[in-house]
Amino acid sequence: MALWSSQSHKVRLSPLEIESGYVAHAVNGSGASQSASSSESRSSKTWLYLALGAMIALAFANFALGRSVVDVPNNTLPLGQVGMMGVGFVACCTLLTTVLLCYSKETRRTLMETLDVQKRRTSMVAFCAGLLGFIGLFCLTSAFAVDSEGAAVTVAISSGAAIIAGVLCYFLFGELLSRVEITGMLVAIAGVILMAVVNAASSGPLAPILGLLTMLFFGLTNVLQKYVGRFMTCWYSSVFFFAGNAFLGLLVLFVHMGVTADGGRLRDTSSQGAGLAFLGGILLCLGMFFAMGAFERGPAGPIAAIGQNNSIVLLLLQWSILGQVPQTLAIVGLFIAALGIVILALGSQSRKPSSAGVSVCEKSTRPDSIRS
């Protein structure tokens, strides 16, 4: 069976959907049909806006994290910076949980329901997604600290996470993509690769290894985020996702404190590096929150591809703030990546949520989102 669908409204239910209790329901009544049609139209565009928001937030986060590891000794893992990034996740997890508990009785009740036996599996999947995502972030941040010149190779290879997410979501969830969406996704990835490898004149042996690990963990994270989005809104799934990130972040911080206390090679993290890492963790939470909302509504592959294109905004930040003038090929890659996003935007105009595997049917186990 083809990975794409020439008709964006075509639906394919996988065995996993059937096992999970997904049953398609016909909409009765003209009023209900019009309401459903209007909802589909809004949702078909909302995932794109959320993905673009995630791209921008992740770019600012990567900029802050990149500056935080400037003073890390060569060939040394940035455990202190990664640990402070985890503290940022702790702050965001606490803040979001507090908002849900205090917003209304309904959100407080729904948050408590996510700990029930029936919904605990989805909550644990979100927590595991946070664990895998943090490992991917650790690999990417380590690439900049251990081999700053070869980190471009790591970024280029890690962009393949979008392909992993798209393929796995096709086989697991029956998520079909149109030819336009596949084209846009590949063009966007090509632009990212071109922007990255143009600066990879010399790279050590660790760069490709860290790139493959980052690609694998980010790809699996995106798949789990897509799965969670089928049962739970981003308001509640983000609590457990941030908790997974925070757990590993604090663990890394404790390891860093133990190593430095024993007089190891690692030195104490500077206050500037710690502050930038903490800010990077906050911005990462914002980007991941937007990404969770996008995975809830749209196709995993294109969303992951747009997220990888945070290199566009990152390149502009480095140019405008640090005065790092990009090379000609990097600028060409920027325009190619932007073209891929435009193609994805055009493909999203004809997409309906059902073709992405979202809102294919009624989700009785999915908590309601916050309502005023």
Q: Could you give the CA distance from residue 85 to residue 285 in angstroms, rounded to a whole number?
A: 10
pLDDT digits over 69-102, tens only? 876 766 677 888 888 888 999 999 999 999 999 9
316: number of Cβ within 10 Å: 14
Q: Return the ∠ at Cα 61 (arms to 59 and 67), rounded to 5°.
A: 105
What is the mean pLDDT of the segment spanning 58-67? 87
What is the mean pLDDT of the segment spanning 275-304? 91
Confidence at residue 150, expressed as pLDDT on a 0 to 100 scale: 63
For residue 200, give the nearest of 158, 146, 145, 151 by alpha carbon: 151
What is the mean pLDDT of the segment spanning 258-266? 56
Per-residue pLDDT for 189 more than 70? yes
Give, in order, the Cα–Cα distances in Å from 146 to each of 134, 151, 257. Answer: 18, 8, 19
What is the mean pLDDT of the segment spanning 27-33? 40
Average pLDDT value for the chain: 76
pTM of the model: 0.77
- Sign of the dihedral through C-alpha 151, 153, 157, 159: positive
Q: Could you give the CA distance from residue 110 to residue 366 in angstroms, rounded to a whole number?
A: 10
Confidence at residue 24, expressed as pLDDT on a 0 to 100 scale: 31
- Is 161 within 8 Å of 304 (Cβ atoms)? yes
Per-residue pLDDT for 135 more than 80? yes
Q: Residue 4 pairs with which residues in a beta bridge?
A: 177
Structure-token pair, residue 168: 């796995």
Helix%, strand%, coil% for the chain, nearest 5: 75, 0, 25
Max mean pLDDT range (29-33, 119-123, 220-224): 220-224
336: number of Cβ within 10 Å: 18
- Is 51 within 8 Å of 207 (Cβ atoms)? no
Phi, psi of 244 (to 5 degrees): -65, -45
What is the mean pLDDT of the segment spanning 134-147? 84
